[in-house]
Amino acid sequence: MQASNSAQLLRVQVDAAKAFYAIALATALLFWLNQDSISLYCQQKYHQSCELPVLGQSPAWRLGGNLTQALGAARDSFVDSLAQSRTAIAKVETVELPAPIPVVPVNLEAAHTAPHAVASKALAVKVAAPATVVAPVKPAAAVAPSPSPSATVVSLAAGDEVFLVGDSLMQGVAPHLANTLRKRYQIKSVNLSRQSTGLAYPGFFNWPRTVAQTLQSSPNIRLMVIFLGPNDPWDMPQGKGKPFLRFKSPDWESAYRQRIDAILEQAREHQVQVIWVGPPNMQKPRLSSAMAYLSGLYQEQVGLHQQHYLSVNPVLGYKDDEFSYTLQDSQGKRVKTRVDDGIHFTITGQKLIAEQILSKIAFPGLTVTGH
């Protein structure tokens, strides 16, 4: 019995060791294949390089990341080829042949004996006038009022689209802005706002490249609204194996300005108007100071490109470095505009910002269909 128990215990131990080995191997394999994603997450979370010493740059270790990139590129290429095939099929047009000309029988004898009768009929056909149709008179539709030139900075026409760019700040404002554009003016929106994004970590999400691709594929976009910033005031990576650029250093600022310019240059190339929304003061003084610094960069570069900058601070009633969770409305009541994290907005705050953006847009000739 003791020998049997010992053998059974040994088998249990062997099975446990095999299971542990399989789990460890699977975990190592996942880390090997997803090393780039893990590194980007680590940078985004802790704002420093997270590469493993020595191992991180070894060819055998890097093979896993390169393999994942190659598989991703092959997948994207396959999806693109399918999309192009569908587009090619959709572009095949059916050619409609003209309707056959009806054969009209002619009585030669009648035509010979009474040519004046035929001529009279032909003349009657030529001079016959169509009956006048009186259409019912519809009440005049409401036309979008044209705000004063000093208030508006851009204009949109029928068929134009609006591109919404940004992080979680824009994610809150975008639905209100898009719904109003659609319901009031039948203007469509392309909303690609995504939380935790900005310009400092293009490896995590590359806004300049996304903007370029979107403007290329959506020729009806005539206005781009940009609202981001809180994810950017950190040291910034400049490449594998290179030290991070310190926030606010000359090299950091130069690289950041270049990314702002890359977006604005794409807008100029595609003749797209831009409203760049500057982030407001924050509850934490350090973050608020960083937002003021970034807002200065946005405003300067937007001005150089002759586009339009809009600060959120006046919308929320902030002066200088002030911060408040509430705003006094027209009836003297305090309404909450910021949530408890001191960064994002309540629904009231989101709507106020969306309406302020809308006030900068003129819609000449467009029909207002809702409120």
User: What is the per-residue pLDDT across 306-357, written as a single tens digit (0 to 9) for each?
Assistant: 999 999 999 999 999 999 999 998 899 999 999 999 999 999 999 999 999 9
Collapse the DSSP code of 115 into the 3-class scheme (helix H, G, I; strand E, B; otherwise coil) and give the result: helix
Mean pLDDT of 252-273: 98
pLDDT of residue 75: 62
- Give the pLDDT confidence score for residue 287 in this predicted structure: 98
Measured distance CA(67)–CA(112) in Å, rounded:
89
* H or E, element range at 124: helix 115-127
Evaluate if residue 161 carries a pLDDT over 70: yes
Q: Count other C-beta atoms under 10 Å from residue 252's C-beta.
A: 19
Whether residue 289 has pLDDT greater than 90 = yes
- Quote the CA–CA distance of 312 and 281 in Å, as a whole number: 9
Distance of alpha carbon 188 from alpha carbon 165, whole angstroms:
14
Of 265, 273, 296, whose CA–CA distance to 225 is shortest?
273
Give the pLDDT confidence of 114-159 residue by residue, as tens digits: 444 443 443 333 434 444 433 444 444 444 444 444 467 899 999 9
pLDDT band at 94 (very low <50, low <70, confident <90, very high): very low
pLDDT value, residue 185: 95
Q: What is the DSSP track for 162-222?
A: EEEEESHHHHHHHHHHHHHHHHHH--EEEE---TT--SS-TTT--HHHHHHHHHHH-TTEE
Question: How does DSSP classify residue 314?
Answer: T
What does the pLDDT read at residue 118?
40
- Per the CB < 8 A criterion, the answer to whether 68 and 34 are in contact is yes
**Which of 232, 325, 245 shows the shortest CA–CA distance to 279?**
232
Instruction: State how beta strands 221-227 and 273-278 pair.
Output: parallel
Cα distance between the two ends of the chain: 85
- The pLDDT assigned to 32 comes to 57
Q: For the chain, give the percent of residues with pLDDT over 90.
A: 54
Q: Compute how many other C-beta atoms are within 10 angstroms of the C-beta atom of residue 348.
A: 15
- Residue 241 confidence (pLDDT): 73
Q: What pLDDT was estimated at residue 3? A: 63
Residue 163 and residue 223: Cα distance in Å, rounded?
6
Opening angle at CA 62, ends 60 and 67, nearest 5: 100
User: Length of the chain, please?
Assistant: 371
From the list 348, 347, 345, the residue with the least C-alpha distance to 334 is 348
Question: Domain map of the chain by residue range?
Answer: 14-73, 155-362
Residue 60 or 126, more confident: 60
Q: If DSSP states are collapsed to H, E and C, what string results for 21-86?
A: HHHHHHHHHHHHHCHHHHHHHHHHHHCCCCCCCCHHHCHHHHHHHHHHHHHHHHHHHHHHHHHHHH
Q: Which residues contact 112 (CB under 8 A, 6 or more apart)?
A: none
Residue bearing the bigger pLDDT, 371 or 211:
211
Say if CB 344 and CB 170 are below 8 A apart: no
For residue 46, what are the contacts with CB-CB under 8 A and spacing of at least 6?
Answer: none
Q: Of 14-28, 61-75, 165-179, which gets the smallest average pLDDT?
A: 61-75
For 147, other C-beta atoms within 10 Å of its C-beta total: 14
174 pLDDT band (50/70/90 cuts)?
very high
pLDDT of the residue at 124: 39
DSSP state of 342: S
**Does the pLDDT value for residue 97 go beyond 70?**
no
Mean pLDDT of the chain: 79
Per-residue pLDDT at 126: 40
Mean pLDDT of 258-269: 98
pLDDT of residue 239 exceeding 50, the answer is yes
Structure token digits, residue 150: 């000093």
| Residue 9 predicted with pLDDT over 80 | no
Residue 280 has pLDDT above 90, yes or no: yes
- The predicted model gives 161-184 an average pLDDT of 97
Q: Which of the following CATH numbers is that of domain 155-362: 3.40.50.1110, 2.60.410.10, 2.60.40.10, 3.40.710.10?
A: 3.40.50.1110
- The token duo for 59 is 């060819």
Residue 236 is given by DSSP the state: B
Q: Rounded to whole angstroms, what are the CA distances from 113 to 108, 116, 117, 119?
A: 9, 9, 9, 12
The better pLDDT of the pair 321, 62 is held by: 321
Whole-structure pTM value: 0.66
> What is the mean pLDDT of the segment spanning 262-283?
98
Residue 26 has a pLDDT of 73
Task: Tell me the average pLDDT across 283-295.
Answer: 98
Q: What's the whole-number mean pLDDT along residues 62-70?
A: 63
User: What token pair was written down for 268?
Assistant: 């100029």
Query: Which band of pLDDT confidence, cut at 50, 70 and 90, is reported for residue 164?
Result: very high
pLDDT attached to residue 77: 58
